[in-house]
Amino acid sequence: MRGAKAVVECLKEQGVDTIFGYPGGMILPLYDALYDDRSINQILVTHEQNAAHAADGYARASGKVGVCIATSGPGATNLVTGIATAFMDSIPIVAITGQVDTNLLGRDAFQETDILDITMPVTKHNFKVKDARLLVPTIRQAFEIATSGRRGPVLVDIPRDLFFAEVDYRLPKAIERSIGRPDPDFLICVAEAYDEIIRAERPVAIVGGGAVAANASREITAFVEKFDLPVVQTLMGLGAVPRSHSHNLGFAGMHGKKAANHAIANADLVIAIGSRFGDRQTGNLSKYTSNRKFIHIDIDPAEIDKNVANSLGLAGDMKTILGLLMKREGVSTRDDWWRQIDEWLDEYDYDYDVDRLTVPWAMNQVAKMTAGKKFAFATDVGQHQMWAALHLRIEEPRTWLTSGGLGTMGFGLPAAMGAQTAFGNRRRVVVISGDGGIKMTGNEFYTIARLGLPIISIIVNNTSLGMIRQLQKVMYDERYIACELDYPMDYVKYAESFGIRAEVVSTQEDFAHAFSKALEDGDHPRVIVMNVWRSFVEPMIKGGAKLNEFVDFK
């Protein structure tokens, strides 16, 4: 069969049911093959970057590989930000790009770009197929690489003439896979880790995005219960342990919860599960690592000792490692440690009784109104992202979608679109964006409206790039530049221009009423524009952890 048809068959055998993309001359043969096979839902986006973000959101929500396609040149380069976002957060996507014919490679043909060299630093692996005989095995290998070990994005660049070439396609032979048995040296390390956990008087577990990727939520929850461990979560780890669980202290890090940060600062043992000890988590590394021991559980051996040196590293399958630890005796209680933690939990965190509309108040209201219902939450990047992480109550894995490592403004809306596509009518997505980020990728309202995706979009309009302005206040003596968006924009009319129902709110009562109406209208997209003040109070210094939490507008 022709190469384009073979690619479609490879996608089907990998379980792909949805792809996000934008056509162009060099990828058009693949689109033509999709015309003859409607079993794969192809979603036309409005920009290639959004195709990558949507594939990313689809992968985060479903646990499957997200797929995006684009043409050569600008189509391929527009994917790069989305690919880099997936790379930093270890999200499995496969990006397929068209390329100029093989006889034109290296001749600066129209829309020829060396996308392999461009994406090499931000992909787990990438391929340029130059031989039609390698087309089918390369596509299969791309999916294998994307999903094995530490997950990540893979790019496959295919010259146009290979889509027309005759290739040999045969169904692959079934391969049985099993997790290898740990060797004796590894079991010794597990025993050492167990001894450290038992001896610790003030242990704490940190759960990161790797826990979600490993689908290990049940195992982690059972682990912290058995060893009576307080558990905190990184930005990427939200949902890995239910927020309502009695052992869960919430989001930790630079913008984290007081009790979570105090627990880390006062711990004598930190057990990291699927977390890479990013700088937003640790702050000053020398202070973070002093006077405490570390156990580091991660699928990627390269992460062990990368940021925190001299940790007891357990690299491998997370479920297997936790299972080995769980076979040993647990502990009864750590009463003194929990009494101290309870004191931090009882301290002032945030006053929800303020009489004005603020983002923390709104996020708390959203948490209350969606409690016990099937919802997922996506965010853009900025102040609203941190407030959402602090005040939403994420109870399940794969229901929190945010750009953690790269911090990509514009991520939220297209990622929500991909997630809603994955969830179908099983779960509804709420996305929180700032007025800065929505200007970047708000054009996807067109696709959301065209597909009738019932996404609820909350736009936080503080007429500024809030996080930038905040940093300029705290670190640059209030020398505000390039952060204030004073030229008025009517976001309601913007949303309505796509046929989406929208309204603007500026009081608590208005927001609660608007969100209630959006919940009732479960079949259509809705937009709520929150007009809030752009100023804010001084950052609060978080006691022993010495980390900041920015909690309110002034």
What whole-number distance in Å separates Cα of residue 6 and Cα of residue 166?
9
Mean pLDDT, residues 233-256 taken together: 94
In the structure, what pLDDT confidence band is assigned to residue 175 with cuts at 50, 70 and 90? confident
What whole-number distance in Å separates Cα of residue 538 and Cα of residue 463?
19
Quick one: tokens of 6?
Answer: 């073979």
What whole-number distance in Å separates Cα of residue 491 and Cα of residue 503?
9
Q: What is the pTM of this model?
A: 0.93
pLDDT given at position 548: 35
Residue type, 51: A
With H, G, I as helix, E, B as strand and everything else as coil, classify residue 19. Answer: strand
pLDDT given at position 353: 62
pLDDT given at position 279: 86
pLDDT given at position 227: 95
Tell me which of 156-160, 279-283, 320-324, 528-532 is least confident: 279-283
What whole-number distance in Å separates Cα of residue 486 and Cα of residue 476?
20
What whole-number distance in Å separates Cα of residue 292 and Cα of residue 116?
43
In the structure, what pLDDT confidence band is assigned to residue 31 with cuts at 50, 70 and 90? very high
What is the DSSP secondary-structure string of 168-211? Answer: ---PPPP----PPPPPHHHHHHHHHHHHHHHH-SSEEEEE-HHH
Tell me which of 170-184, 225-239, 422-436, 503-517 is least confident: 170-184
Residue 537 has pLDDT above 50, yes or no: no
pLDDT given at position 302: 93
Alpha-carbon torsion angle 209, 212, 218, 221, nearest 10: 20
Residue 550 has pLDDT above 50, yes or no: no
pLDDT given at position 171: 87
Average pLDDT, the chain: 92
Helix/strand/coil percentages in the chain, nearest 5: 40, 20, 40
Mean pLDDT, residues 344-369 taken together: 82
pLDDT given at position 32: 97
What whole-number distance in Å separates Cα of residue 119 and Cα of residue 68?
15
In the structure, what pLDDT confidence band is assigned to residue 281 with cuts at 50, 70 and 90? confident
Quick: pLDDT tens for 104-163. 999 999 999 999 999 999 999 999 999 999 999 999 999 999 999 999 999 999 999 999
Residue 543 has pLDDT above 50, yes or no: no
Alpha-helix runs per DSSP H in 94-134: 115-119
pLDDT given at position 453: 98
In the structure, what pLDDT confidence band is assigned to residue 540 with cuts at 50, 70 and 90? very low
Task: Say which residue, 353 or 69, is predicted with more confidence.
Answer: 69
> Which of 420, 424, 417, 425 has the alpha carbon at shortest distance from 445?
417
Quick: pLDDT tens for 403-431. 999 999 999 999 999 999 999 999 999 99
Ramachandran angles phi, psi of 67, nearest 5°: -125, 135
Ramachandran angles phi, psi of 312, nearest 5°: -85, 105
Own/partner long-range contacts of 37-45 (Cβ < 8 Å, ≥24 apart): 37/5, 37/8, 37/12, 39/12, 40/8, 40/11, 40/12, 40/16, 41/17, 41/421, 42/18, 43/18, 43/19, 43/421, 43/447, 43/451, 44/447, 45/20, 45/21, 45/414, 45/417, 45/444, 45/447
In the structure, what pLDDT confidence band is assigned to residue 289 with cuts at 50, 70 and 90? confident
pLDDT given at position 254: 85
Mean pLDDT, residues 43-58 taken together: 98
In the structure, what pLDDT confidence band is assigned to residue 349 with cuts at 50, 70 and 90? low
pLDDT given at position 347: 62
Mean pLDDT, residues 64-90 taken together: 98
Mean pLDDT, residues 352-374 taken together: 90
What is the helix (H) or strand (E) element at residue 259, kind and residue range?
Answer: helix 258-266
Residue 545 has pLDDT above 60, yes or no: no
Quick one: tokens of 440?
Answer: 């970047």
- 419 and 401 Cβ atoms separated by less than 8 Å: yes
Residue 228 has pLDDT above 70, yes or no: yes
How many other C-beta atoms can be found within 10 angstroms of the C-beta atom of residue 544? 13
Q: Would you say the C-alpha torsion 528, 534, 538, 544 has a positive or negative sign?
A: positive
pLDDT given at position 332: 74
What whole-number distance in Å separates Cα of residue 459 and Cα of residue 504?
9
pLDDT given at position 136: 97
Mean pLDDT, residues 348-363 taken together: 78
Q: How far is CA 341 from CA 185, 251, 289, 333, 422, in A?
A: 36, 15, 20, 13, 39
pLDDT given at position 549: 34
In the structure, what pLDDT confidence band is assigned to residue 439 with cuts at 50, 70 and 90? very high
- 203 and 267 Cβ atoms separated by less than 8 Å: yes
Ramachandran angles phi, psi of 94, nearest 5°: -120, 120
Tell me what percent of the residues of the chain surpass a pLDDT of 90. 83
Q: Which residues contact 27 (CB under 8 A, 6 or more apart)?
A: 21, 69, 70, 71, 72, 75, 96, 97, 98, 160
In the structure, what pLDDT confidence band is assigned to residue 179 with cuts at 50, 70 and 90? low
Q: Which residues contact 475 (CB under 8 A, 6 or more apart)?
A: none
Tell me what percent of the residues of the chain surpass a pLDDT of 70. 95
Residue 275 has pLDDT above 70, yes or no: yes
> Which of 72, 5, 66 has the alpha carbon at shortest distance from 32?
5
